[in-house]
């Protein structure tokens, strides 16, 4: 397409659809996690609480308000990507046969790895003096996060977080199936990081996969202590840069393996 890429009416419809889809997907992931762990099975999983206390209800309402604002911003980015695709600027393709199923799977994995690297370094940037106080501090109002903190960002941070999507679709051929798989993994891991409970078994960090993959405890400690544990999906950047919290594994194993001690776990 050339001159008439999208009309204002089309842009409005795409924006509304994007926003509703984002809100529904976020509500499904964060809402189900919150209902199961924080409401329905709260007593049953109490021994898996990473921080025994619970945040005030009004703070959870604040997380939800910021999350809705983030969805509005992400939807605007979605409109931009839609326009760019109409103009032929993106590398999104629709025929699986164009690259094959093997590439589709590989591109999904590559997108996840790229996002993990993008997140680690933009997250470190967010912790620079001045940037933290003006932007990232909003996310860290949740020192004891609920699943609703997953998207609780300052608007400028939401823009930075959304930046990975244009980068991916402009640089990497991606099929819609790969995009959906990537977004699903992203949402699931983001909610897991803010779950407030540790679902993994005690020996998880002693396995080859567990040493590489992050846990709910990993990101919860970042919220509690502000510094360290900057990674999103995987642990290799924190290992490489020496930014894992010194007592991460100790804290994880107390929460995951010893119900009586989990509620007393403290990290200096």
pLDDT in tens, 206-247: 999 999 999 999 999 999 999 999 999 999 999 999 999 999
Separation in Å, CA 38 to CA 33, 53, 146, 148, 265: 8, 12, 8, 11, 19
Q: Which two tokens stand for residue 107?
A: 């591109």
> How many domains would you assign to the chain?
1
Residue 252 lies in a domain: no
| Per-residue pLDDT tens digits for 160-170 | 999 999 999 99
Q: Are the CB atoms for 151 and 66 separated by under 8 Å?
A: yes
| Lowest mean pLDDT across 53-62, 128-137, 258-267 | 258-267
Considering the entire predicted model, what is its pTM? Answer: 0.92
Residue 253 lies in a domain: no
pLDDT value of position 4 = 52
pLDDT value of position 36 = 97
CA distance 45 to 28: 20
CA distance 3 to 155: 32
pLDDT value of position 6 = 83
Is 50 exceeded by the pLDDT of residue 58? yes
Q: Are the CB atoms for 216 and 192 separated by under 8 Å?
A: yes
The percent helix, strand, coil of the chain (3-state, each to 5) is 65, 0, 30
pLDDT value of position 5 = 75
pLDDT value of position 266 = 47
Range of the domain at 90: 8-199
Residue 214 lies in a domain: no
């Amino acid at each position: 397409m050339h001159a008439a890429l999208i009309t204002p009416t089309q842009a409005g419809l795409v924006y509304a659809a994007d926003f509703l889809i984002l809100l529904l997907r976020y509500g499904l992931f964060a809402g189900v996690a919150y209902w199961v762990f924080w409401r329905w099975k709260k007593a049953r999983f109490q021994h898996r609480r990473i921080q025994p206390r619970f945040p005030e209800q009004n703070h959870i309402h604040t997380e939800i308000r910021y999350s809705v604002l983030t969805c509005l911003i992400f939807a605007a980015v979605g409109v931009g990507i839609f326009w760019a695709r109409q103009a032929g600027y993106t590398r999104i393709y629709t025929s699986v046969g164009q690259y094959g199923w093997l590439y589709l799977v590989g591109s999904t994995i590559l997108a996840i790895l790229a996002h993990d690297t993008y997140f680690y370094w933009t997250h470190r940037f967010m912790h620079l003096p001045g940037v933290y106080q003006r932007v990232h501090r909003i996310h860290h109002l949740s020192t004891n996060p609920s699943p609703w903190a997953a998207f609780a960002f300052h608007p400028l941070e939401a823009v930075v977080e959304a930046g990975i999507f244009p980068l991916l679709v402009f640089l990497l051929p991606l099929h819609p199936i790969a995009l959906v798989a990537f977004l699903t993994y992203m949402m699931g891991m983001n909610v897991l990081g803010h779950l407030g409970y540790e679902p993994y078994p005690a020996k998880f960090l002693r396995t080859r996969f567990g040493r590489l993959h992050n846990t709910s405890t990993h990101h919860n400690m970042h919220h509690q202590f502000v510094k360290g544990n900057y990674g999103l999906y995987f642990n290799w950047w924190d290992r490489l840069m020496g930014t894992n919290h010194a007592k991460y594994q100790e804290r994880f194993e107390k929460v995951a393996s010893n119900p009586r001690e989990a509620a007393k776990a403290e990290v200096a």
